[in-house]
Structure 1
Amino acid sequence: MAKLMCLCFIILAIAVAVSADECKGDRQDMIKECGQYTKWPAEPKLDPSKACCAVWQKANIPCLCAGLTKEKEKIWCMEKVGYVANFCKKPFPHGYKCGSYTFPPLA
């Protein structure tokens, strides 16, 4: 029984480690290509580059949102993130929660 519990713990630890790194590449690409368009202050909102939109289109947004902490929200302006999402034609659905931010309906 102890061996089974130990094995279950190891499997769980591996699963958590793998899921934590699941979108690391997307996160790095997003910072590199879209960072200048999504950081505070909220204004001005600039149209993102084609490279940013290409990254946005392929990114695992649910994974990125799951890793968004309060500390990261002090860096990334979620209003600007929403602007980039809309501009790049991959908007957040009404009521979508990303970190602690819930996106309003599209205008």
Structure 2
Amino acid sequence: MKRAGGSFGLKLMMEVIVVLVVFVGVLEMRIPMANGDVSPSQCKQEKDLLVKECKAVIFGSNPSPSCCQRVRVTHVECVCPLVTPKLANLIKVQRTIAQIEGCGRTVPHHFKCGSVTTP
């Protein structure tokens, strides 16, 4: 039996996963920011791989080593545009910060990614 809103719920869940892990990704200072060296197809592939590796995060797990690795190589410019105000309202910033620290990163103050700015 299919749950009501199943496909919408899954899509929303995947978007939330991307938001949660994007904060980890913004902390990798080696990420090129405005070089224009990432194509739209590369961005889609990076986002898909990021979601695949980090699915467990949405269910309350800490990021796995493979999730943290994927976050470190994902370009910020591929995921920050996905952070809409609606999506930003769904995340818990403190939980996200704890997950970032679980990947061994520090949170930069006042970093803007999409419609979210870190404290």
Equivalent pairs: percent with the same residue?
A: 28
> Compared with structure 1, are the counterparts of its residues 103 and 25 closer, same or farther at alpha carbon in structure 2 (3 Å cutoff)?
same
The count of corresponding residues between Structure 1 and Structure 2 is 82
TM-score, reference length from structure 2: 0.51
1:28 paired with 2:48, answer yes
Instruction: Name the residue aligned to 2:113.
Output: 98
> Compared with structure 1, are the counterparts of its residues 62 and 87 closer, same or farther at alpha carbon in structure 2 (3 Å cutoff)?
farther
Alpha-carbon distance, 1:102 to partner: 1.1
Name the CA distance, whole Å, in 2 between partners of 1:98 and 1:91: 16
Two-structure CA RMSD over aligned residues (Å): 2.8
Structure 2, unmatched stretches of 5+, are: 1-37
Name the CA distance, whole Å, in 2 between partners of 1:69 and 1:96: 15
TM-score, reference length from structure 1: 0.55
Larger Rg: 1
Alpha-carbon distance, 1:22 to partner: 4.7
Structure 1, unmatched stretches of 5+, are: 1-17, 40-44
